[in-house]
Amino acid sequence: MRPIAPAGPEPADKRSESALWVAPALLVTGDPFPTERCAGQNGGSRRREVGVDVTAYLAEADPRWAEHSGGEGHNDAPEWGPEDVERAAVFLAELAPQARQVFAYLLRNPGRRIHCTELVDKVLGGPDEGDPARRVAGVLSGMSKARGKSGRRYPFHWWEAPEGSAGATYAVRPSVAAVFLAAELSR
C-alpha cells in the first residue's frame, strides 16, 4: 500500500498517530480494494463485507477509469464533455427519482469510488433483504433510456468487487461531474 501525502501540512493532532497519516479525503492507495485498515484513517466510506475504511479518489487521468467493469453503454458512445451541458440537463430530467438521487450523490463526490453499501445506506434508505449490489445496479439501469437518447455513454463508471469480496463501486469522472453540475446550475 502506497499512501500519497496530502497537499497541505499534517495537522498537529495527527502527527503522533502515525508516520503514514494521510488526510482521509486524499487517501489513495495502489490497490483500490485494500483489505487492511490504514493507520490514521478515520473518515470515508466503509465496506462492511471486508472491513475496509478507505476512500479512494481517482484523478481525471487515472488509468483505473479505463479498467472499469461497464460493458454496453459504457464504451460505445462519446464521453460527456463541456459542449453537452444542455444534453445533460435533458438527461437529468428523464431520470427516475431513485436513479436521479443515486446519481446526484455520485456527482457530489466527483472522482470518489463509492461502494454500493454506502449508496444503499445514504441514498436508498438503508439495507433491506436484497443484495446491495443488485439493488444499486437495478436503480441505475433506470438510466438506460436517457442514455440512449443522449447519444453519450453512461455518465458513471463501475467496478466489480475483486474475488473474495462483495459488491461493486461506482464513480463519476470529475470532468463529467462538472458538465452535470453546470446543467443543474443552468436550470
Question: In the predicted model, is pLDDT for residue 121 greater than 70?
Answer: yes
Q: What is the pTM of this model?
A: 0.69
Question: In the predicted model, is pLDDT for residue 168 greater than 80?
Answer: yes
Question: Which three cell numbers mark 65?
Answer: 477509469
DSSP state of 187: -
Sign for the CA dihedral angle at 185, 60, 90, 132 comes to negative
User: What mean pLDDT is predicted for residues 98-122?
Assistant: 95
User: What mean pLDDT is predicted for residues 43-56?
Assistant: 48
Contact (Cβ atoms closer than 8 angstroms) between residue 120 and residue 136: yes
Domains and CATH numbers, the chain: 1-57 (no CATH), 59-186 (1.10.10)
Q: 38-65 b/e with 16+ CB inside 10 Å = b?
A: bebbeebbbbebbebbbbbbbeeebeeb
- From residue 166, alpha-carbon distances to 87, 133, 159, 181 in Å are 35, 8, 11, 31
pLDDT, position 73: 67
